[in-house]
Structure 1
Amino acid sequence: MYFILSVVALFLLSACADGVTGSSQQNELGEPYRVALEELISTDTALNENMEYISLDFDKGLPLKDSDKKSIEDYLHSKYNVKIYNLTYEELIEEGLSEQSESTLKGILLKIEKQEKQSDNNIAIEVSKYRANEGALSAKITLTYEEGKWKVATHTPTRES
């Protein structure tokens, strides 16, 4: 009898622990941001040529935890094999991470400007990519959570130069 109660108690504790510690990609904010940034990086790939780094400039008002940011940084570093910074445009210039012409960066600056949660399964994220005054773009990317992962539903350019 004690054995059966112990097994049932162990099973219930295990189920409760999974509910508390387990997290789905739907609830991890880093994942939709990563997908949106990847979509933007793959747009106008000429801006990516010979990039020495990627700098991520996250708007202070975004609900991203440090672990979400780290997850995005780790993904981009492993995929593109470049240094990842968390610097603004001005800070990149100050650090000497631009070409002779200060308006042209040696890498790309990705900025997450804002997000709008439309429902539990839909989120719109405004992102921009900058390399030079004549090499920049921004977009509103709407993502949908389907079949266990975030997917791009729409990609609406908002500015290109």
Structure 2
Amino acid sequence: MKFKHLIVAFIVLLILSACNDGIEPKEHLGEIYSVALDSIMEQDEALSSNMEYIAIDMSNFEELDENDKKEIINYFKEKYKVDVLGATLEQLKEKGLYNPDTMALDGVLLRIENVDFKFNNNIFFEGSKYRSGNGAVGVEVTIQLKDNRWKSKEAKMTWIS
């Protein structure tokens, strides 16, 4: 009986390894993070109204190198035609890009708090889009490889303030 289980396990392992398309997600982090951040950006479009800039908090993007970060910045500049900068909320305040009277940004701040590389080239992100304390959303995004391109499989809001 144990021999049958061993054979079944071996066959399953062979099938799973045959399904691997040889693409290593960590070699495409700039593209993957751009797709994930853009999926967050598309949530609650009212937060984007009259935005003067997009800030992306890259302070916890340890796996990305400088080229990946530049790729993300360029992607957003091209798509949204506004200034794009890598900055935390504190850095935005220091630069005078936070209005203390309205307690809001003149742009939006995108942030990724959690990344989980799943089986079969699916990557799960938890992030947020922030405009003010009363204008922010949390988002869960799943990115997958489809037709040799990284695409958003699902994006859903998990909280709103």
What is the TM-score when the length of structure 2 is the normalising length?
Answer: 0.78
Would the aligned equivalents of 2:126 and 2:140 in 1 still touch at CA under 8 Å? yes
Identity %: 37
Residue in structure 2 matched with residue 122 of structure 1 by the alignment: 122
With over 3 angstroms needed to count, the CA separation of the structure-2 counterparts of 1:65 and 1:26, relative to structure 1, is closer
Tell me the number of residue pairs that the alignment of Structure 1 and Structure 2 aligns.
Answer: 139
The answer on whether the counterparts of 1:59 and 1:111 sit within 8 Å (CA) in structure 2 is: no
SS at match of 1:63: coil
**Cα RMSD over matched residues?**
2.0
Residues 16-59 of structure 1: per-residue CA shift (max 9 Å, x gap): xxxxxxx9888311111111111111111111111111111024
Does the CA-based 8 Å contact 1:37-1:110 persist in structure 2? yes
SS in 2 for 1:105: strand
Query: How many Å separate the matches in 2 of 1:30 and 1:37?
Result: 11
Q: Which amino acid aligns with 1:95?
A: K
Is 1:64–2:64 an aligned residue pair?
yes
Distance 1:71 1:120 in 2: 24
Return 5+ residue gaps in structure 1 as ranges: 1-22
Q: Which runs of 4+ in 1 moved over 6 A?
A: 23-26
Name the aligned partner's letter for residue 52 of structure 1.
E
The answer for the alignment partner of 1:111 in structure 2 is 111
Does residue 134 (structure 1) correspond to residue 134 (structure 2)? The answer is: yes
For residue 120 of structure 1, report the CA deviation from its aligned partner.
4.9
Q: How far apart are residue 102 of structure 1 and its match?
A: 5.5
Query: Residues 34 and 25 of structure 1: is their aligned pair in 2 closer, same or farther, counting only changes over 3 Å?
Result: same
Residue deviations 1:64-87 (CA, integer Å, cap 9, x gap): 111111001001011111111211
